[in-house]
Structure 1
């Protein structure tokens, strides 16, 4: 089973400058026009999906007043004109009507920034970060990339107005404070039906000015995912490789609570974090009772995690006891808890109802051992970065009979 890609290559004609465009079908263009987008757009922001057969049947379609045309296969006849035209994609199913795509004149690469109907859409804020986590999947860069703010503001206008979840991530999004607040305000105004979840290390929220800013924003469907890797400063600061981070994160969490924000605590499960999971669960319950959800997450084996394999890798089979203790301590006290990113064959049956299909669709895949597994439709699978070096000895397909027994024992 292959994952959904977020980019592919096209033959691109007449692209003079970088473009961000919404792909729409001819029927959508006729029936909805600019209303196909959530925000303020023009016809020049639309990329008309024009199959080769339709184009050959009626070449006059190329006179429609849109920003360009996309033919999802090879052209059978020469096309004349100066309009932007994408055709002959390397992978035919990557770009579909409803998507928002980005392209630049010096490249044949077309990136999908928004996929219609997906709960894995993400506004990427920056490559910069003020931490250097041992398992960071996207190592930070010391660059000025403010341009992401303008791209995201434009992208919000081009999205569908539907109810999918929308993530905001980096790097560390709060490093661009004003830009992040502007983006959140625009999400509230243009995409009021979407839930917004921001991933942040929480350290910069130690500044109490955030309390007024977020209270004034008053976004009803905004939540924050903040990592806390230990019940003590020594262990947490070691994982994030930043002295003082534990104290700053706690100050930030309390300020978020004062601003009445929805907060999720995230814990990446590794050799560094699993030994004291029960102690961390106690700490969260006693010191952060306002937390709405705790996510215990299998590690993504890419970025800096590869470099720190020896310090991070522990077979999930070897932390099932502390995981169980932590999960049930929180659950029994009314604090919602979930297990992310672990295949079901590595989750004990008594914990299976806490397991979620959590890996973003464009990162998600199932290895050969999964193909005959009866649990595949219920399982999170693996990150695309998965390798044998990070594979548990417990990976095995479940038969239909075994999965039925597993599901019954979970109830």
Structure 2
């Protein structure tokens, strides 16, 4: 949920959901359930400008260093540029989680060009228009997203990639990485889908077993080295990529940053606590060398597939020393959260 890239050790980072309106309707969208719940109660699915500004003001009062604007789709709001401008005036580094389609508009990119400490996280869902548009259920979305990425790159804006891995796109991961690299993107996160919202409805089409990922991820890691793009993996436990433990994205949580998120029309919550609460481990995980720092998969993975795919990593396994060295470096930069 929280976009990485500009976070420093020990900072407070706040994730602000501006609303659930979106110009895509992705098959794996995790917030579709939240949107539908508000609609069922005849409640607005988007914050007003005043509500959004009030939350930014509260984050400023709490001493947040970084705010992530997300949704839904933040860039389709009429007040998008005003919100970014206000956030920057209060000293926030600003992350924007967006599908990038509205950024195909040159005028919008020009309007935000002068902002500093700005980072965009933009997803691809396939390496072709046909596949990507089938996932977003919006024809033309692939070309608009690519145009948005390239418009930002030409203006020197920082862009990071995000790919939700699914049963359908595993053979396309390398192709998506190539597109990112050719568009000037230097960092991409590959995430195992969290089966909420649309992703829960479509889980039989979307969710791969961890045993299906092994060879795909090894090939992807090789491609990343070739394209000189930094990658990491979200909700992919150490035992799934035992030779590459340094690529487990949750290692970055050892920096000790405090993270909060605010759903639409709801109270602000602790994301570090919430994230751990919706993950789980199998009985055998206690025998793994990474047990103390591994968060395990999303809890629904164990509910649907069991723990047979989770193989404890032994102390003398390849990659363990490399991971320990990275953990030491991270812990020197920040405190390790308990629990």
Bucket of the pairwise TM-score, normalised by the shorter protein = 0.7 to 0.9
TM-score when normalising by structure 2: 0.75
Shift, 1:165, TM fit = 3.9
Q: For residue 276 of structure 1, what is the aligned residue in structure 2?
A: 172
Deviation (angstroms), 1:309: 1.4
The answer to whether 1:316 aligns with 2:210 is: yes
Q: Does 1:325 find its partner at 2:222?
A: no
C-alpha change, 1:396 and 1:175, in structure 2 (3 Å) is: same
Cα offset, 1:148, TM superposition = 4.3
In the TM superposition, 1:384-395 aligns within 5 A as: 386-389=301-304, 393-395=308-310
Contact 2:18 2:71 (8 Å CA) reproduced: yes
Aligned to 2:139: 243
Distance, in Å, in 1 between the alignment partners of 2:299 and 2:207 is 17
Partner of 1:376, secondary structure, is coil
Partner residue in 1 for 2:93: 195
Q: Which residue of 1 aligns with 2:76?
A: 175
Matched, 1:378 2:279: no
More helix by share: 2
Which range moved further: 140-149 or 269-278?
A: 140-149
Counterpart contact for 2:13–2:64, Cα < 8 Å: no
Residue aligned with 2:188, SS: strand
In 1: Cα distance, 2:307 partner to 2:280 partner: 13
Q: 1:195 to 1:341 in 2, by over 3 A?
A: farther
- Specify the SS of the correspondent of 2:249: coil
Contact 2:233 2:248 in 1 (8 A): yes
Equivalent pairs counted in the alignment come to: 285
In the TM superposition, what is the alpha-carbon distance from 1:380 to its structure 2 partner? 4.1
More strand by share: 1
**Pair 1:348–1:372, CA change in 2 (3 A):** closer
2: CA distance, partners of 1:327 / 1:195:
30
CA contact (8 A) 1:122 1:167 kept: yes
The 8 Å contact of residues 202 and 226 in structure 1, kept in 2 or not, is answered as: yes
Structure 1 stretches lacking a partner, 5+ long? 1-116
> What displacement does 1:390 show?
5.1
**Alignment partner, residue 266 of structure 1:** 162
Q: Could you tell me how far 1:391 is from its partner in structure 2?
A: 5.0
Partner residue of 2:106 out of 193, 197, 208? 208
Aligned in 2, Cα 1:284/1:208: closer, same or farther, shift over 3 Å? same
- Report what 1:364 is aligned to: 276
Over the residues paired in the alignment, what is the CA RMSD in angstroms? 2.7
Note the 1:96-175 alignment, pairs <5 A: 121-139=14-32, 140=35, 144-159=44-59, 160=61, 162=63, 164-175=65-76
Partner of 1:59: none
SS in 1 for 2:309: coil
The higher-RCO structure (CA 8 Å, 6+ apart) is 2
Structure 1 partner of 2:3 = none
Q: Structure 2: any 5+ residue segments left out of the alignment?
A: 1-9, 254-270, 326-339
